Chains A and B, each alone.
Chain A
């Protein structure tokens, strides 16, 4: 069986190799980069064995290294443009095949391989087919690329590290934000924000309640970075008691459009790091708000549209 634990081990070994290569590479900040990737490797390889407190110390250490600014010292650049151009001419459109294998295998795995049973056991760990298939897609793409390009043995890892250093701490931010969400839930931040919104919202009028709910979903999602965290709080505070309870609105339309109003908030916040911060690093954009800026008009228009749609549809 291909399990999620196996995919974690693979990722751990990759990050361990990044740590070793970082220590070997010349340049300022190399020990900080090496320590950073080594801690990520430790989390992937041993996270289930070392206990919650040690994992917590790992996150704090990662945050301190990132906060020191030493990761941001520029890593060495890519292969020279002339070399890349020559290689592009030589391999042509075949270069697309390994790249497209990642989504192709990911989809094939989560639709087809998910159902395959080998010797009485599922081929992919049940319930984790999507994630395991993504790992399988990455591995397939790497093997295909290596067979086609015949690089030197360390080249795939060195090129992976080049990209990893481009993304750097931003690559860990989504996972750390998810962990923050869990701490927020434990300490009652959601309840407190819900109470606050309940205090200021105009809930005496059916359409005012709809606007309070959709705008509240967007705002609360922007604070938490995740519509899933906002939905239960806002729906318990405004949606169910006021829109459904007092004014007799349809709960299905309320829930569906309410969640989509939350997604409008997701488009506007650095807290949704994998959508709004990671691409800034991946695309090497100079302005850290560039992706959010590009999304703001759509977010505003769609929130207005959601509010109108709910006002018309929920009280049919």
Chain B
């Protein structure tokens, strides 16, 4: 139970708004030491796992291409696209993106999306432009931040509640493996069918949330409270 100190360090660090990278490193050291590892063992275990997980940071290889395209006006062009789409609102655009992202994730195509590759350069500027065109005026800062945060949330929720319908995704294989270790045979397909009801609920919830976002943006544009 002593190792729970590490969880306390994490919570305290996040609450006290210390730098998260520093907080996490401190929690790792506390977890290792209170879990019975020596200082060198702890640092080595942390370092070995850091090295093994470099693939997570490989996504940043997209930075030069995205940066170059942004300098050349990619975000401006994404906004122009929305200015031409008369029926588009921020909520409707994000709902369409949600459906596409959830369906493609359900087919195993989880790399068709992502915060660095799609949301920042394309989806967020398009949603902002749709909101501006609909309001007929530049967005107040609070509304702009809200639209951007909803764009990020759309990508996350769609992929979380779409990918488990695909039979070969890591989480389904983990469930299958764990059940098998405990002597229970489970076909991936028999697991992934149970992901479908939740996927449908996620779509319904997001549709309602996006309708709400549009109503809120309309109210703000009509001169209501900004936040």
Q: Once the chains are docked, how many angstroms separate the CA of A83 from the CA of B72?
A: 8
* Chain B residue nearest in CB terms to A149: B72
Identify which of residues 137-181 in chain B touch chain A, using a CB-to-CB cut-off of 8 Å. 141, 145-146, 148-153, 155-157, 160-161, 164, 170-172, 174-175, 178-179
Q: Which residues of B contact A176 (CB under 8 A)?
A: 21, 24-25, 50
Q: Once the chains are docked, how many angstroms separate the CA of A167 from the CA of B60?
A: 10
The answer to whether A291 and B152 have CB atoms under 8 Å apart is yes
Given A88-B73, A172-B21, A53–B47 Cβ distance below 8 Å?
yes
A113: CB under 8 A from chain B? no
The answer to whether A178 and B53 have CB atoms under 8 Å apart is yes
* A-B CB pair tally, cutoff 8 Å: 421
The answer to whether B149 and A66 have CB atoms under 8 Å apart is no
* Chain B residue nearest in CB terms to A144: B65
Identify which of residues 46-88 in chain B touch chain A, using a CB-to-CB cut-off of 8 Å. 46-78, 80-81
The answer to whether A102 and B117 have CB atoms under 8 Å apart is yes
Interface of A is mostly: helix
Q: Which residues of A contact B206 (CB under 8 A)?
A: 298
* Chain A residue nearest in CB terms to B157: A298
Q: Which residues of B contact A40 (CB under 8 A)?
A: 57
Q: Which residues of A contact B77 (CB under 8 A)?
A: 88, 91-93, 95-96
A116: CB under 8 A from chain B? no
A73: CB under 8 A from chain B? no
Interface residues on chain A, size class? 35 or more
Interface of B is mostly: helix
Q: Which residues of B contact A195 (CB under 8 A)?
A: 1
A2: CB under 8 A from chain B? no
A14: CB under 8 A from chain B? yes
* Chain A residue nearest in CB terms to B18: A67
A255: CB under 8 A from chain B? yes
The answer to whether A58 and B50 have CB atoms under 8 Å apart is yes
Q: Which residues of A contact B48 (CB under 8 A)?
A: 52, 55-56, 182
Given A43-B54, A99-B121, A255-B186, A134–B59 Cβ distance below 8 Å?
yes
Most buried by B among A89, A161, A170, A298: A298
B93: CB under 8 A from chain A? no
Q: What 1/0 flags go to B82-115 for Cβ under 8 Å of A?
A: 0000000000000000000000000001011111
Q: Which residues of B contact A69 (CB under 8 A)?
A: 19
The answer to whether B178 and A306 have CB atoms under 8 Å apart is no
Most buried by B among A44, A95, A146, A293: A95
Identify which of residues 119-138 in chain A touch chain B, using a CB-to-CB cut-off of 8 Å. 130-131, 133-135, 137-138
Report the 6 A-B pairs with minimum CB-CB distance, sorted nearest first: A187-B35, A56-B47, A88-B73, A159-B67, A55-B47, A67-B22
> What are 27 A-to-B residue pairs whose CB atoms are below 8 Å?
A53-B40, A56-B45, A59-B50, A62-B21, A63-B22, A63-B26, A99-B74, A159-B70, A171-B60, A173-B24, A175-B53, A176-B50, A180-B24, A184-B3, A184-B6, A186-B37, A187-B6, A195-B1, A223-B10, A231-B174, A240-B182, A252-B190, A267-B157, A278-B116, A290-B145, A291-B149, A302-B198
Q: Measuring CB to CB, which residues of chain B are less than 8 angstroms from any residue of chain A?
A: 1, 3-4, 6-7, 10, 14, 18-22, 24-28, 31-32, 34-37, 40, 42-78, 80-81, 109, 111-122, 124, 141, 145-146, 148-153, 155-157, 160-161, 164, 170-172, 174-175, 178-179, 182, 184, 186, 190-195, 197-198, 201-202, 205-206, 209
